[in-house]
Amino acid sequence: MKVTIFTASHLRHKYLVKKISEVSSQVLYVKENKPYIRTKKTKIVKNYFNYVSKVEKKIFKKIYLDKKKIKIINFKYNTISLEKLKNIKIFNSSKFYIIFGSSIIKDNLLKYLVKKRAINIHMGVSPYFRGTDCNFWAIHDGRSDLVGASIILLSKKIDGGKILRICKPKKLKNKFYFMMSAAKIATEKLKELLIKEEIYKKKINHDKKKLLRYSKRFDFNDVAIKKFYDKIN
């Protein structure tokens, strides 16, 4: 089978590409060169993301991609468009379309992918946390029981698609490892579901009444990080 993956360039994203390529004939890696820090770069923010990066390297280590099976097309942040993809054979003939950690999919590309039943890995437990940095906010809000990832259908509403699977990592004392391990667990679960062809077998609608937080990028700041550290210390 052929698969198109929309994701970024960090190790956790490359890990997804690698694992899915192991069960695919060809993979189109739509690689978005996304900045690691997308908020105000204060000292505390930089320190936080430096630690995130160190943990990511320890969990995922070096990732080697099979260039014979994987075609890479690069995009600058927030510039992915259907027009630049529709002439690529792998894109048009893919059986599955996967999104993980890209910028917001929109316009004609969004319509196209929704029709194709594109799969989105949302780093947060649906329907409780939606938006950005959901696992950070789960711990910040004292809900470490809701750290994890959701495999959902892409939809017009951000993180609002039907829920296919919820993936929760084993609880770890180090909360940075705990949060990052959710990406690994979700990737491995998605690979398993694709192998068994069971990805669309279960579909659960979002219960809007269960939403605890809809976080936005500007919510993530020095004050929030300090409260997060208070929770884990």
β-strands 119-122, 96-100 pairing: parallel
DSSP symbols for 165-202? EEE-PPP-SSHHHHHHHHHHHHHHHHHHHHHHT-TTS-
Segments of the chain scoring below 50 in pLDDT: none
Residue 41 is predicted with a pLDDT of 85
- Residue 39: predicted pLDDT: 73
* pLDDT tens digit sequence for 14-49: 999 999 999 999 999 999 987 776 677 899 999 999
Ordered by start, the domain boundaries in the chain are: 2-232
Q: What letter represents residue 106's amino acid? A: K
Angle in degrees, 0-180, between the axes of helices 175-196 and 11-21, rounded to the nearest 10: 20
Question: Per CATH, which fold does 2-232 belong to?
Answer: Rossmann fold (3.40.50)
CA 80, 85, 90, 95 dihedral sign is positive
pTM for this entry = 0.95
Measuring CA to CA, how many Å separate 185 from each of 73, 74, 180?
A: 26, 26, 9
CA 153, chain centre distance (Å):
12
Q: What is the pLDDT of residue 35?
A: 75
User: Chain-centre distance of CA 205, in angstroms?
Assistant: 19
